[in-house]
Amino acid sequence: MNKLEKDFDELAKQINSKIVEASLILKEVNSLKNKAGLISLIYTSYISEDIAYFNKGKSEEEISQMTEDFYQKIKKIKVKPLEEAISDLGWNTSSTYC
């Protein structure tokens, strides 16, 4: 194995280690999201349908109010730094809000 391959292998180990660390942090974020009673950390075009699905039997008015409540809460969650970091890695986040 030449020096370039050894150097890359060392960097790959470091990258993989950081990915594991990041995944553990994201699992903690997900746990906090669940504790807060949120079904998502972003407002998507399908959120009212998701809220309706998880709250079967509620009226359209109740679903509308729950959607608005969710929107007000979610405005306090700042996901832009995460989206930017993911984008910098080369992953496309442009369809996140669809």
Q: Where are the domains of the chain?
A: 3-88
Task: Report helix angle 60-74 to 47-54, nearest 10.
Answer: 120
Q: Is 49 helix (H, G, I), strand (E, B) or coil?
A: helix
pLDDT of residue 98: 57
Looking at residue 95, its pLDDT comes to: 65
pLDDT for 43 equals 86
Percent helix, strand and coil across the chain, each to the nearest 5: 65, 0, 35
Write out the chain's pLDDT in tens, 98 residues: 788 788 999 999 999 999 999 999 999 999 999 999 999 998 888 888 999 998 999 999 999 999 999 999 999 999 999 989 998 988 876 666 65
